[in-house]
A and B are shown apart, each in its own frame.
Chain A
Amino acid sequence: MTLPVEILIALLVWGTLVGIDLVSLPQMMIARPLVAGTIAGAILGDIPTGLKLGVIFELLQYDILPVGAVRYPEYGPATVAAVATAHASAGVLGLGLGALVGLVTGLIGGITINVLRRVNSRIVHAAAAALESGDPSALVRVHVGGLLRDAARAAIVTATGLFLAWLARPLLAGALTTRGATLLAVAAIAAALAAGAAGTLRLVGRGPNLAWFAAGLGGGLLVAWLR
């Protein structure tokens, strides 16, 4: 992957914003892979690739139970890195390599979130006396520190993802035949689809919503058949 430096910077900034959005500020869902991927595609001048990888990682995102899950992968910056990877290699090879880079970045992102929360816990614990005194400047200091650490974290994760994107092509593209590239893409996308289906079913539950889910499934199948 050889990208002009201004594009790389734009991707890094975008990935960082996406990473901050997930938890810290302002949770407007640019962290959703659909959004993160589409805009990463727009930055690269390749919206179709952005959409495709966005859809793949949006499906994986459904696997994360929205409540209480503790160690969960972070798919926002991961999708940005995946789009950058996929953009560099055309077609099925791009899809497979992009998915692979995104998955690894998502794993790394999830680990950094947990590490950050541990660090924040320690800092909040150490500041207990100041917080208990009700000193507003101490309170704001602890809080803003957390925000800045999350920004640094998001930038590091995005940079790591973009580095993996840069590595992927020289490392793997030459070694993969068309058949091999297809196999990689098929495996990653099929897994994403399975994760999406399993995750949505968990979200729907076995209550009255299941009938609505079945109705939607039927309608979707019908439309897919007619197209």
Chain B
Amino acid sequence: MKLALARALLRLFAVQGSYNYERMLGVGVGVAEEPLLRDLGDAKYRPAVARGAHFFNAHPYLIGLAVGAAARAEHDGASPDQVERLREALCGPLGSVGDRLVWAGWLPFLSGLTLVGIALGAGWMAVAAFLIVYNVGHVALRWWALRAGWTHGARVSVALHNPFLQRAGAVLGPAMAFTIGAALPLTTQYLAWPFEAGARITFAVVAGLAFLALRWPGGAGHLNGLRLALGLAALALVVALVWP
């Protein structure tokens, strides 16, 4: 079973490889679960593989919990309905926990720290440290998720009560907010450095107006960072070409 778990883990790194709107990550989840189902016996193997590939969506790093838990439930003789219900109930919570922990915690926290490091002159070493530290957490989370799912099966919520996970969630929100708060002024300074005094004033005015435009309540849905940046760059280009 060690080998099967290792196979499943490797496949989990590509769980989003066939991302689509009909089953979202379902096919990738089925591919990752398949090695854990091989010893179910011929009669149960194929239906279980088919179930594994049904619609699924959650945070990619935590999907191992669902893969392990569903495979364990299949081994424990859960009915097809029970397995489907378990998978459905896991989508939302695993997405939500992972989004808060990683996309709104670990990742922006370390990204903010890296921006601070670059602004203070750490250069490429800050980026190298980001890549290493981030992925220690990333790989550990994927591995833990698969193991925990496989251990607990349908009682997978026990695994999510893991105290370390709880504490990480509670600490990362404030830590993320603090580092990106600190990163903004330092990054501004870093970026404004090459400009002369006059250009810096233009820079401050344009950035302020752009920020207000993005925060404008009615702007949601129409204006985003990319459109605004493209629009401003195009405007600057026109101005620069017309009045050189």
Contacts and interface: CB of A to CB of B under 8 A. Distances in A.
B229 A191 contact: yes
A147 to B, nearest CB: 4
Given A140-B31, A187-B206, A221-B185, A216 B179 contact: yes
Contacts of B225: 60, 62-64, 191-192, 194-196, 198-199
B233 A187 contact: yes
Interface stretch (A5-13, A159-167, A177-185): A177-185
A51 B123 contact: yes
B17 A125 contact: no
Interface string B197-239: 0010011101110110111000000001110111011011101
Given A25-B17, A26-B13, A143-B18, A216 B180 contact: yes
A167 to B, nearest CB: 14
Contacts of B115: 34, 55, 58
Interface in B1-44: 13-14, 16-23, 27-28, 30-31, 34
Interface string A1-43: 0000000000000000000000111111110101100100010
A64 B229 CA distance: 14
Contacts of A136: 34, 49
Contact of A34 (B19, B111, B230, B232): B111
B62 to A, nearest CB: 12
Contacts of B235: 187
B175 to A, nearest CB: 8
Contact of B214 (A28, A59, A181, A198): A198
Interface string A204-227: 100011101111111111011001
Contacts of B178: 212-213, 215-216, 219
A176 B46 contact: no
A132 B232 contact: no
Contacts of B45: 134
B180 A186 contact: no
A223 B115 CA distance: 14
Could you say which of A25, A73, A212, A214 has the most chain B C-beta atoms within 10 Å of its C-beta? A212
A91 interface: yes
Interface string B159-199: 00000000000000111111111111111111100111001
Interface residues of A, number: 108
A18 to B, nearest CB: 12
Contacts of A88: none
A99 B233 contact: yes
B186 A120 contact: no
A152 to B, nearest CB: 13
Contacts of B188: 193, 224
B60 A27 contact: yes
A107 interface: yes
Given A139-B49, A193-B188, A121 B174 contact: no
B241 interface: yes
A185 B195 CA distance: 9
Given A147-B17, A194-B211, A134 B226 contact: no
A156 interface: no
Nearest to A176: B240
A140 B50 CA distance: 12
B239 to A, nearest CB: 6
Contact of B174 (A54, A66, A209): A209
B236 A121 contact: no
23 contacts: A27-B61, A54-B127, A63-B214, A139-B34, A139-B49, A143-B27, A146-B17, A146-B19, A147-B18, A183-B236, A184-B236, A186-B195, A186-B199, A186-B202, A188-B229, A189-B191, A190-B206, A191-B210, A193-B184, A195-B228, A198-B211, A216-B182, A224-B188
Given A147-B18, A190-B210, A216-B181, 13 more contacts: A24-B17, A47-B124, A55-B191, A63-B226, A107-B226, A118-B21, A121-B22, A136-B34, A142-B18, A180-B240, A190-B202, A195-B224, A217-B182
